[in-house]
């Protein structure tokens, strides 16, 4: 596999995973003081399968059923491995951009009856604070111009198109669970996510 954009990365290494061998690259955050990650597999020519995934410690690492994040990440790695090439951009913007501690406070508010948007607002944040500019910069560094974007979030599609990338949305849903059904309804109803 080619080693794209490594001169601009802070560090890069081979990363064998359950889904195949990826190249992991760390990039500085331009809009945050946290490093972002690209997991690249294969050639970045033509239309590239891409997942832009925002960090979710509770879902990605601890497999929380409060959300669908960890399952979406696993599915993206599987789909990219099946395609033989692609990239996951892992943006370090936990809890829709409010951070881990505030996300845990939001969990408690959700247990009291608020939805995920209302909980963020109760804590003094907007319902959605994530930004995708750093992800776009990483894709451009990797030479990606045409994207098959694994997402249900129209805001991601719009952000990439506004940055001049050609984007075709690929639906990317996992089966709901009893614990995250209301969360998914809120994503669809209040955030416009296109869920099956």
- How high is the pLDDT of residue 149? 97
* DSSP assignment of the chain: ---TTTTTSSEEEEEEETTEEEEEEEE--SSSSS-EEEEEES---SEEEEEEEE--IIIIIT--SSSSHHHHHHHHHHHHHHHT-EEEEEE--HHHHT-HHHHHHHHHHHHTT--HHHHHHHTTS-S-----HHHHHHHHHTT--EEEEE-S-HHHHHHHHHTT-EEEEE-------TTTHHHHHHHHHHH-----
- How high is the pLDDT of residue 15? 97
- The reply to whether 4 falls in a domain is no
- How high is the pLDDT of residue 58? 93
Neighbours of 10 (CB within 10 A): 11
Q: What is the number of alpha carbons within 13 Å of residue 190 lying toward its C-beta?
A: 16
Encode the chain (196 residues) as per-residue pLDDT tens digits: 445 577 788 999 999 999 999 999 999 887 667 899 999 999 999 999 999 999 999 999 999 998 888 999 999 999 999 999 999 999 998 877 788 999 899 999 999 999 888 888 899 887 777 888 899 999 999 999 999 999 988 889 999 999 999 999 998 888 877 776 666 666 655 565 666 6
- The reply to whether 117 falls in a domain is no
Neighbours of 127 (CB within 10 A): 16
- The reply to whether 114 falls in a domain is no
- How high is the pLDDT of residue 1? 40
pTM above 0.85, yes or no: yes
- How high is the pLDDT of residue 188? 53
Bridge partners (DSSP) of residue 25 are 12, 38
Length of the chain: 196
CATH code, 142: 3.40.50.10990
Q: How many domains does the chain have?
A: 1
- The reply to whether 6 falls in a domain is no
Cβ 3 vs Cβ 23: under 8 Å: yes
Bridge partners (DSSP) of residue 167 are 147
Domain that holds residue 45: 11-93+130-189
- The reply to whether 148 falls in a domain is yes
């Amino acid at each position: 596999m080619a080693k794209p954009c490594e001169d601009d990365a802070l560090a890069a290494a081979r990363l064998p995973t359950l889904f195949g061998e990826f190249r992991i690259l760390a990039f500085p955050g331009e809009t945050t003081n946290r490093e972002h990650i690209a997991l690249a597999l294969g050639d970045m020519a033509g239309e590239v399968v891409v997942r832009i995934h925002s960090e979710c410690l509770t879902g990605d690492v601890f497999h929380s059923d409060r959300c669908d994040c960890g399952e979406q990440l696993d599915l993206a790695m599987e789909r990219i491995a099946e395609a033989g090439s692609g990239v996951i951009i892992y943006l370090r913007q936990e809890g829709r951009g409010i951070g881990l501690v505030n996300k845990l406070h939001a969990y408690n508010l959700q247990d009291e009856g608020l939805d995920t948007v209302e909980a963020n607002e109760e804590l003094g944040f907007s319902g959605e604070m994530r930004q995708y500019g750093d992800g776009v910069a990483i894709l451009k560094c990797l030479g990606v111009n045409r994207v098959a974007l694994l997402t249900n979030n129209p805001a991601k599609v719009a952000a990439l198109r506004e940055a001049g990338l050609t984007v075709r949305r690929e639906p990317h849903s996992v089966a709901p669970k009893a614990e995250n059904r209301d969360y998914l309804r809120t994503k669809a109803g209040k955030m416009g996510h296109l869920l099956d």
